[in-house]
Amino acid sequence: MKMTPALLVIGGLMVFWASVTVAVFLPHATLNDQPSDIWKPMSEPDVAAGHKLYVRNGCSYCHSQYVRVLDWDVGSERIAEKGDYYGYEPAILGTERTGPDLSQEGGEHPDDWQLAHFVNPRITRPVSLMPAWEFLGPTEIRQLNAYVQFLGGKDADVRVARQQRWKPPAIAAWLAGPAKNVEWLHAQVPKVWQAMPNPYPATEPDLLRGQKIYQQECINCHGPVGDGQTVAANYMQPPPLNFTILRGHLVEGKYIGGIFYYQIMNGITGTAMPYFKRDLESEKIWDVSNYLAVRFLGYTDATIEPRGIPASYEPEWKNTFVAPTTQEAK
Amino acid sequence: MLAFTKKTNSAALAFLGGGAFWFAIGATYGLFSAIDLVAPDFFQNIAVFVFGRVRPTHVNTVIYGFITSMLIGCAMYMVPALLKTRLWSERLGWVSFVLWNASVLSGPIGFPMGYTQGREYAEYLWAFDVTLMLALLALIVNIVMTIAHRRENSLYVSVWYFVGTAIWISAVYPLGNVMWHPSTGAMPGLLDSIYLWFYGHNLVGLLLTPLAVGAAYFVVPRITKTPLFSHTLSLVGFWALVVLYTHIGGHHLLQAPIPNWLKTISVVDSLMMFIPVGAVLANIWLTARGKTSLLWKDPAGRLVLFGTLFYLVTCIQGPVQSLPSVQRLTHFNNWVIGHAHIAVLGFSGFVALGAMWHVLPDVCGKKIWSQRLVSLQFGLVMIGIVGFFVVLTVAGLIQGGSWYNGETVYRSLPLITPYMVMRALLGLFIIASAWVGLVNFIMTLRHGQPHISTPIEEAPS
Ligand code: HEM
Ligand code: HEM
């Protein structure tokens, strides 16, 4: 076959357009996308403005917007469907996950967490790689927040409503003073979790593991000495809890492990305290609970009664901590 | 006025120089991105250095500014040389150059200020899509008219690839940038991702690949002083490329909710890509068989030779990572960034550099100022790219494995810190190679010994 200019140009174009027909025009004609069950229009001006900011600032180079069958992270309760993106222009799916998927971010956190996080992600997430967006100024940060709270459509609405449902009582409790606040917080924890000791011995290695987790996940909110006096406190209502006052609020004068576990696993919806059930599995939560207790309360209920048969790996460890008397703790 | 724009090969030289310049700038923006991923508060609150803004600047500048410019410059010399004629219009060539660089320049100026359409690889604003399209159309006119005035009847395979690139990309670009929606440059809904990845894939498949292959087809027979091994293989490689490459963009979206038939086609034909790749590499390497020492001794030839080797690496990796079972571990993480660098820099970038040094003496009439600096550039960029590939692939597997095991993205961040540090350091080698090249380029123009250009003797098949 001799390549002539005519063959080159005409042949090249014919093959090319045939391929384009298959790869682009055919999907275009047959995609037939309809709004999915959770879809919402981007009608609020702040949301639309936030979407533009998301595009302009290149959030999509670090965040994807579709959850896959094999995902465990933020949003993994819903696998993406084609109708989730109906009419959004552009709907940038993204190719990198330097940060988590955001397609279901709405309602994951309350607004105060998001605002602090946008000003500088290290305020709430000590080892984050996300840039600080403080330079955008308060208006644009508010719009970005409106957009991320919108992500997830009607599913996000449910979560946002839940955050809003619990925000006022949490603030009211906090305004009532530290003691009342803790009472309120603990009253929200199911009874069975309250009178539950930490089942893990608070050995030296256990506490070191807990410390590592504390430094990666908690330190920028609750502070190096656990008193909650941090930059984060300026952004949050209620501010991060001061753990040291918990000495005076042990359940039945001796239990705290179960409360710690429950609060860390589940988070405290309505407050900036996130849930950690995706970041930390069971043992890690118990480890960090022991760390909080020993380090900031000077007392842990590790392995006290009630307890079952000790686990096979457990070393001989005796809990020598003495529960503070109510008198002494106050 | 502007008499220099009439000088033979002046437009080609401008594109080559532009490429050498943008290489240095683009790589430097890569370093800014890399620093952001090591120390996010390094440029705290300096808007123009924020990751989301420097990354597209890096990517567009290296693709359109560095590699494409450089290869267009090569093509503007090679096409007339192969056809024993002159470029039809140097002036029109300069028009292309100015328009093209207006688009490229809109990256470093606009993106850091937030002026972008934000779709990966399609970020240029509509006005600069237009200038880029006009530049392409001017190039097409120029090439077609050059062919019409040719004094050599048969068209050498490099010419096929350059003509093909020009006509394909001038359709791929407006489609992928959805130029009929000027304000967003996007289609509504999920459909947009199909347009975007049709484009994103063909940007490398129908722009970088055919330009680089065309240049390699020119350089290798010339340095080894051997006619091309096989005309049939040339034909197979060329036609299979446009048949297959055009519709495998779906492999970027295998885990997204696009239609399954589209995914199936893209996976099957990604595997079929061994045909065009194998044909091209067999043809080039069999041409060089027994003469590779000639390629190795000439630093320009060395760059092209390693470019073809990295093409093989890329195109073994590519089909493998098109398999859904592999993508479970490799998608969304630094594995893909590793592929992107070995492909874009290792393959098309190496070939562009090699071809540029090879044709530069004929284009500007001066000998290369320092061949040792070309060798140094080769050494530096080799260390950088091989290091990148290893480091990023390892980082990607760590991320992919830990996510697959149920770790969150946040928890896996500390695991990749060492690799992000190494990437930033290795990047310094690539940047150094870019600046060494730029200095050598400028010194060649200013102080190079005179060079009598050698005409292309016979046009091989
Ligand atoms: C000049 C040659 C280079 C070329 C052709 C090149 C090409 C590219 C391309 C195509 C991408 C997009 C990857 C993707 O989305 O999958 C990219 C991203 C990137 N490149 Fe380069 N690059 C070059 C040099 C460098 C250098 C010298 C550095 C660092 C010092 C660097 C650092 C980066 C970073 C940090 C990203 C973003 C990765 C991410 O999103 O996680 N590049 N580059
Ligand atoms: C046989 C040929 C090839 C195949 C089958 C192939 C396959 C792929 C696949 C499947 C991806 C997506 C990976 C993912 O997101 O999980 C990808 C990404 C990429 N490929 Fe290739 N590839 C090939 C050749 C090339 C060549 C020759 C180049 C450049 C000259 C290239 C440049 C890129 C770039 C820049 C990306 C990153 C896109 C992004 O931003 O996500 N590839 N390739």
For the segment B152-157, the average pLDDT, to the nearest whole number, is 92
3-state secondary structure B233-280: HHHHHHHHHHHHHCCCHHHHCCCCCCCHHHHHHHHHHHHHCHHHHHHH
Q: Do B118 and A55 touch (CB under 8 A)?
A: yes
CA distance A301 to A122: 32
**The pLDDT of residue B455:** 64
Measured in angstroms, the CA of A131 and the nearest CA of chain B are apart by 5
Residue B389 CA to ligand 1 center (angstroms) comes to 11
Indicate which atom in ligand 2 lies nearest the CA of residue B330: 16
**The pLDDT of residue A197:** 95
B301-325 core/surface letters (b: 16 or more CB in 10 A; e: else): bbbbbbbbebbebbbebbbebbeee
Estimate to the nearest angstrom the gap between the alpha carbon of B115 and the chain centroid: 24
For the segment B386-408, the average pLDDT, to the nearest whole number, is 97
Q: What is the pLDDT of residues A131-166, one digit of tens each?
A: 999 999 999 999 999 999 999 999 999 999 999 999
The answer as to CATH 1.10.760.10 being correct for domain A38-158 is yes
- Mean confidence (pLDDT) of chain A: 94
| Among the partner residues A31, A55, A279, nearest to B408 by beta-carbon distance | A279
**The pLDDT of residue A324:** 84
| Among the partner residues B167, B256, B328, nearest to A70 by beta-carbon distance | B328
| CATH fold for domain A176-329 | Cytochrome Bc1 Complex; Chain D, domain 2 (1.10.760)
Residue B318 CA to ligand 2 center (angstroms) comes to 6
Q: Residue A326: which pLDDT band, with cuts at 50, 70 and 90?
A: low
> Which residue minimizes the CA distance to atom 21 of ligand 1?
B30
Residue B29 CA to ligand 1 center (angstroms) comes to 9
Q: Residue B461: which pLDDT band, with cuts at 50, 70 and 90?
A: very low
From B322, B321, B388, B318, select the one nearest B349 (Cα to Cα): B388
Q: Tell me, yes or no, if A95 comes closer than 8 A to chain B by beta carbon.
A: yes
Q: Do B198 and A20 touch (CB under 8 A)?
A: yes
Closest-approach residue (CA) in chain A for B44:
A132
Decide if pLDDT at A87 tops 90: yes
For the segment A117-121, the average pLDDT, to the nearest whole number, is 97
**The pLDDT of residue B3:** 81
**The pLDDT of residue B1:** 63
For the segment B162-172, the average pLDDT, to the nearest whole number, is 95
Q: What is the pLDDT of residues B310-369, one digit of tens each?
A: 999 999 999 999 999 999 999 999 999 999 999 999 999 999 999 999 999 999 999 999
Q: Tell me, yes or no, if A14 comes closer than 8 A to chain B by beta carbon.
A: no
**The pLDDT of residue A299:** 94
For the segment B368-396, the average pLDDT, to the nearest whole number, is 97
Looking at all shown ligands, the one closest to residue B59's CA atom is 1
Measured in angstroms, the CA of B62 and the nearest CA of chain A are apart by 17
Question: Taking the CB of residue A255, how many other CB atoms lie within 10 A of it?
Answer: 19
For the segment B218-240, the average pLDDT, to the nearest whole number, is 94
Pocket of ligand 1 from Cβ distances under 6 Å: A 61, 95-96, 98; B 23, 26-27, 30-31, 33-34, 37, 55, 58-59, 62, 66, 336-337, 340-341, 344-345, 349, 424, 427, 430-431
Q: pTM for the full model?
A: 0.95
Q: What is the pLDDT of residues A68-81, one digit of tens each?
A: 999 999 999 999 99
Q: What is the pLDDT of residues B70-118, one digit of tens each?
A: 999 999 999 999 999 999 999 999 999 999 999 999 999 999 999 999 9
Decide if pLDDT at B459 tops 80: no
Q: Residue B456: which pLDDT band, with cuts at 50, 70 and 90?
A: low
Amino acid at B197: W
**The pLDDT of residue B4:** 84
Q: What is the pLDDT of residues A188-244, one digit of tens each?
A: 999 999 999 999 999 999 999 999 999 999 999 999 999 999 999 999 999 999 999
- Structure-block tokens of residue A311: 């686990």
CA distance B130 to B173: 10
Q: Do A61 and B257 touch (CB under 8 A)?
A: no
CA distance B214 to B16: 16
Mutation target to probe the B interface, by most B beta carbons within 10 A, among A89, A133, A141 is A89
B224-253 core/surface letters (b: 16 or more CB in 10 A; e: else): bebebbbbebbbbbbbbbbbbbbbbbbbbb
| Residues above pLDDT 90, as percent of chain B | 94
What residue ranges of chain A are covered by domains with CATH 1.10.760.10?
38-158, 176-329
A121-131 core/surface letters (b: 16 or more CB in 10 A; e: else): bbbbbbbbbbb
**The pLDDT of residue A2:** 83
Question: What are phi and psi for residue A308, nearest 5 degrees?
Answer: -95, -150
Q: What is the pLDDT of residues A30-54, one digit of tens each?
A: 988 899 999 999 999 999 999 999 9
Closest-approach residue (CA) in chain A for B252:
A95
**The pLDDT of residue A1:** 75
Measured in angstroms, the CA of B412 and the nearest CA of chain A are apart by 9
For the segment B247-255, the average pLDDT, to the nearest whole number, is 93
For the segment B26-37, the average pLDDT, to the nearest whole number, is 97
ipTM for this model? 0.94
Q: Residue A251: which pLDDT band, with cuts at 50, 70 and 90?
A: very high
Question: How many CA atoms within 13 Å lie on the side-chain side of A187?
Answer: 9
Decide if pLDDT at A255 tops 70: yes
**The pLDDT of residue B460:** 47
Residue B341 CA to ligand 2 center (angstroms) comes to 10
